[in-house]
Structure 1
């Protein structure tokens, strides 16, 4: 509730306020109406104690769901003087704290003094989320997200500037803000992420969720990035959460304090969490196989995570290609490093990396792969310095061959000639275009099957610019900053226009574009790419269940950064599966941080 009286308002205006409640300090907006005000005689029940302060709950709560009845009192000086269950009074200064300009604020009471314990051994009972409180909203984060959480332009407003009135029934950030400082219980918590380096994990509780996938995670749906999920952060008692857990692990009931730190709302558990039951499901191999002819060739897409000849993951990548992808006819690879890995020594070619992978596959399966790449200019394509990541193709030379091959270089700009032939095969698309600054250039190739009808088909292997540096989904800028979205849109235009040229000069050709687009289908770059290119999303063509359309795990979301798109000629009888091999695993068991996808396509063309 807001400030109740003219006298209190006048006191706040001059920097002090007497006998206010915790709800009045929090107010019904994101920022306290009593910010930078000294309050006296604040009364509350101690619900938890950390090494740096204590958490209070109002002893006389109001009936307004927008005003939190909890408050963090920051101050080590009082920690040893109180116990959980004490009712206390104290003075302090209301402040808004954040550790970064792009984070949301946490309302807290600083510089506590004049502490008095009124009574002890009072009952402390957590509020059960969804039972004693509203349930978290399942779609929208903030009323300020014009165009949705991925709306463009980014950062059109800020929570700290607009300070909107809370609507916890409609918006996820408002919901968690309305409970900040409160002791709560999450019933039947399941992890929807793996832990970060501090042991923090995202969970869903016993409330309505959207996008629930077969591994127990929450998949980002169109316009829905799962605001109902919440982080379990560092335990209040100073213990540590485990670092080897994974998506789908069952944690049981978790009690803790709702807080806001490091860019996210979170629940700080009273003690370290631990799985009650571990997720053990594995993903089966792809359910279809190649027919060896243009009517049914198989294509896989895989970001191999900075693969070099000495990578400890090389045998694992080979094993997944053999055992799970069942040796596809063409493999689109991203993040293939040069022969010396991350040594910044001027080496740019990656033939030894690709040869080592091909050898490992042959040893495991007897299947022989050839490969093609265009080595980038040194340190011009982003990624780890010295690594020179690039896209490349592995292909079964017993099934397909390059059509009229002519090797392009890093600086050669590919063209679609009048007869529909590529000037360079393989070659890169417009490599000098500023859209590709410090980013990977698309690798385009033309192929012919060795059996059956002999029409050429085309592939475009992409790895668009990084999202690194984006603000958090719970952050101050609204809509959140999707770093690089404008540049990825330009990259989508360039790539899409090139594909449109192929289809203009070879109507009815089969074209397959795949790779790490670093973007979601609901966001502007992919919308632009599909509009410019005329391609179709293979997820839509094959009706992949929306909750299983993911290849990457970030924060609370199982999400699709990697995609496969096809021309209308390649949609007939298409099959497509995402193989969830890596996203749900613990860090130590991951081969890559991306999941591969496999399709079987008719590329005979019209």
Structure 2
């Protein structure tokens, strides 16, 4: 939870390095008198007074946080005329504050820059006053009027670009709040702000926060979200909403994507590790639902093969039966019992317990039994157990991909010998492309798959025709800098591994196509990257594959919602021989506060 991250009064390593490099200027003459909040905030992201003691800074308290990062915000009721300088600031008390909203106070302390998540995160810093001494002047004062954040006030351009001279950082640039959205939000850091009635674009999460957009027409999805469709077209109207009242005292509303946060939501604008600029609501609007329901895809026809992929989010036998039942009901009801189902994040038989267990037989048996109980087919399963602690994911969980298939409609071609370290190869069988091992793993010794899930390949037969399916779970985006990083563009350090993984799978598909030009191949799974990404381009390189999600209208291309952005992570790619298909991204999880997984499954139907 963002508010639980401890703060430090020390100047961060990043800021200290910037000072040492001469990029930022400290001021030792400011400790005397007449310093006001806008002078501390300055016209940039980093305070010109960082590291400096200040005395008797005046203002009115606009918000108090009594939990997590404890402190309060206060604001100067007499602003200057510079749009770039914020009039509000956070005071880090490290204990329950003794002030109340409406108190007029004077604060003495040291100006610091706190980086949520630490310097290595790449996050921007939050200007604050630390080690404070607070003098009460009066109480019951009117809070400074909020600045309204709206479609009219937020610029269309997202951010200025960093320069090579500053290591791609925008920290040293003067703010241009009329030109760039990130500059606009930074110019309001710590100030009392409000949003009016706004559409929810990120459902309430377990940490009691949601996302809204103040730009309702900005890349709107068919179901009310905000589509993430390009690195160059950021959605500037997104804003995270939290509340200042402890959850125990005031439950946070449950909202789904497409719902509306109606009325005024008002409070200080914070910056945190898990969402960047966040309205910490002193008063919160009311959620009104739009009645969104989970989608159901149509059943495949008799001569259609239905292949699906579904990330079931760290499923293991210790999960409550309710989770198994809900996932199973979705397979039968929402996915219409696909013929082949590739699962990602199936954990071993004791989940996160780290005792060397790698088998997932119990996990699979419990899931397939739940599907039968839900009225679905008696699926059979094929997988390859990983080596212990070599495939990433939750420590001890040993996640892997698993094929489920309906033996009444599909047969599996078993070719023995596949294990965690032995690679399957593209071979010729009866004049057609086939797998040397089925199920088998693709190139497991390649460095591309270090500490990551290895692709699982399997050979199936439908109505006498062979189909090869490759189930994937590419490396996660963990470690990437956020969209609000002080590096612009942000550093995406996880990408190179996915690029290598994509090239490995692409090369394997091409090996199959060299043997049989018209071989039917489906590459499916949690690719952990967007349909416009270099990863997807590497997968499809040379015309070997086509990202089927691109067959959908743009407002329907998403399988995951992150920080208010509806985006593609899960994909099915087709070989050129599969040129007539029906594709569906089945929205049953990502848009809802109540989720059985954080991913939406994907289904493709075609006639081999």
CA deviations on 1:309-331 (whole Å, 9 max, x unpaired) are 56422222221111111111111
1:511-550 map, 5 Å: 511-531=521-541, 534-540=544-550, 542=551, 544-550=552-558
Q: Does the CA-based 8 Å contact 1:45-1:58 persist in structure 2?
A: yes
Matched, 1:262 2:280: no
Matched, 1:95 2:100: no
Q: Does the CA-based 8 Å contact 1:78-1:112 persist in structure 2?
A: no
Per the normalisation by structure 2, the TM-score is: 0.84
Residue 479 of structure 1 aligns to a residue whose secondary structure is coil
Residue 16 of structure 1 aligns to a residue whose secondary structure is coil
- Closer, same or farther: CA 598–380 of 1 in aligned 2, 3 Å: same
Q: In the alignment, which residue of structure 2 is the partner of 1:278?
A: 289
Tell me, which stretches of 5 or more residues in structure 2 are unaligned? 1-24
CA distance in 2, matches of 1:95, 1:426: 57
Q: In the alignment, which residue of structure 2 is the partner of 1:551?
A: 559
Between 183-192 and 319-328, the greater mean CA deviation after superposition: 183-192
1:333-372 map, 5 Å: 333-365=343-375, 367-372=377-382
Q: In the alignment, which residue of structure 1 is the partner of 2:607?
A: 602
Matched, 1:186 2:204: no
Residue 219 of structure 1 aligns to a residue whose secondary structure is coil
Which of 458, 466, 486 aligns to 2:476? It is: 466
Q: In the alignment, which residue of structure 1 is the partner of 2:449?
A: 436
Residue 158 of structure 1 aligns to a residue whose secondary structure is coil
Q: In the alignment, which residue of structure 2 is the partner of 1:36?
A: 51
Question: How many pairs are equivalent?
Answer: 569
- Closer, same or farther: CA 310–262 of 1 in aligned 2, 3 Å: closer
Which of 242, 247, 269 aligns to 1:233? It is: 242
Deviation at 1:277, TM superposition (A): 1.7
CA distance in 2, matches of 1:173, 1:16: 30
CA distance in 1, matches of 2:243, 2:602: 35
Q: In the alignment, which residue of structure 1 is the partner of 2:213?
A: 204
Deviation at 1:488, TM superposition (A): 1.5
CA distance in 2, matches of 1:79, 1:435: 50
Q: In the alignment, which residue of structure 1 is the partner of 2:507?
A: 497
Deviation at 1:82, TM superposition (A): 7.2
Between 467-476 and 427-436, the greater mean CA deviation after superposition: 467-476
CA distance in 2, matches of 1:397, 1:284: 26
Q: Does the CA-based 8 Å contact 1:48-1:54 persist in structure 2?
A: yes
- Closer, same or farther: CA 19–78 of 1 in aligned 2, 3 Å: farther
After superposition, the CA RMSD in angstroms is 3.3
- Closer, same or farther: CA 256–392 of 1 in aligned 2, 3 Å: same
Residue 424 of structure 1 aligns to a residue whose secondary structure is coil
Residue 157 of structure 1 aligns to a residue whose secondary structure is coil
CA distance in 2, matches of 1:168, 1:230: 16
Q: In the alignment, which residue of structure 2 is the partner of 1:585?
A: 592
Residue 456 of structure 1 aligns to a residue whose secondary structure is strand
Residue 195 of structure 2 aligns to a residue whose secondary structure is strand
Residue 218 of structure 1 aligns to a residue whose secondary structure is coil
CA deviations on 1:109-144 (whole Å, 9 max, x unpaired) are 34555847489745632222138xx53245634523
Q: Does the CA-based 8 Å contact 2:386-2:398 persist in structure 1?
A: yes
Per the normalisation by structure 1, the TM-score is: 0.84
CA distance in 2, matches of 1:136, 1:220: 18
CA distance in 2, matches of 1:242, 1:123: 24
- Closer, same or farther: CA 336–97 of 1 in aligned 2, 3 Å: closer
CA deviations on 1:166-209 (whole Å, 9 max, x unpaired) are 2334433212101112111110134322344442322223x355
Matched, 1:72 2:86: no
Deviation at 1:107, TM superposition (A): 1.7
Deviation at 1:455, TM superposition (A): 4.1
Q: Does the CA-based 8 Å contact 1:211-1:546 persist in structure 2?
A: no
CA distance in 2, matches of 1:114, 1:348: 57
Q: In the alignment, which residue of structure 1 is the partner of 2:225?
A: 217
CA distance in 1, matches of 2:493, 2:53: 39
Which of 165, 182, 191 aligns to 1:173? It is: 182
CA deviations on 1:444-490 (whole Å, 9 max, x unpaired) are 1222222xxx4422211101122233333323444334352221111
CA distance in 2, matches of 1:340, 1:95: 46
Residue 202 of structure 1 aligns to a residue whose secondary structure is strand
Q: In the alignment, which residue of structure 1 is the partner of 2:146?
A: 126
Residue 260 of structure 1 aligns to a residue whose secondary structure is strand
Which of 516, 519, 526 aligns to 1:509? It is: 519
Q: Does the CA-based 8 Å contact 2:310-2:602 persist in structure 1?
A: yes
CA distance in 2, matches of 1:33, 1:22: 12
CA distance in 2, matches of 1:409, 1:472: 37
